[in-house]
Amino acid sequence: MAVGVLIITSKGYGKVVEDPANQFREQARGGKGVTGYKVTEDSGPVVAILRVPLGAYPRERVLVLTAQGQAILTPVDDIPKRSRTAGGVKIISLAPGDEVVGVTV
Inform me whether the pLDDT recorded for 12 exceeds 80: yes
CATH-assigned architecture of domain 2-104: 6 Propeller (2.120)
Cα 16 to Cα 10: distance, rounded to the nearest angstrom: 16
What's the pTM value of the predicted model, to 2 decimals? Answer: 0.85
Q: Residue 21: phi, psi to the nearest 5?
A: -65, -35
Q: Which residue has the higher pLDDT, 33 or 98?
A: 98
Cα 14 to Cα 8: distance, rounded to the nearest angstrom: 4
Residue of 12, 18, 3 lying closest to 81 (CA atoms): 18
Distance in Å from the first CA to the final CA of the chain: 16
At 59-94, the pLDDT tens digits run 889 999 999 999 999 998 899 988 888 888 999 999
pLDDT at 97: 92
pLDDT at 84: 81
